[in-house]
Amino acid sequence: MTKILITGANGQLGTELRNLLDERGAAYDAFDSKDMDITDKQAVDAKFDALKPAVVYHCAAYTAVDKAEDEGKQVNWQVNEDGTRNVATAAKRVGAKLVYISTDYVFDGTNPGEYQVDDPTNPKNEYGKAKLAVGPSRRRRMTTTSSGRPGSLASTARTLFTPCCGWQRIMTS
Q: What does the pLDDT look like over 13-63, one tens digit per residue?
A: 999 999 999 999 999 999 999 999 999 999 999 999 999 999 999 999 888
Q: Where are the domains of the chain?
A: 4-171
Pick the CATH number of 4-171 from 3.90.226.10, 3.40.720.10, 3.30.1300.30, 3.40.50.720: 3.40.50.720
For residue 151, how many other CB atoms are within 10 A of its CB?
8
Q: Does residue 140 register a pLDDT over 70?
A: no
**Catalytic (active-site) positions:** 127
Classify residue 138 as exposed, middle or buried by CB count within 10 Å of its CB (0-12, 13-18, 19+).
middle
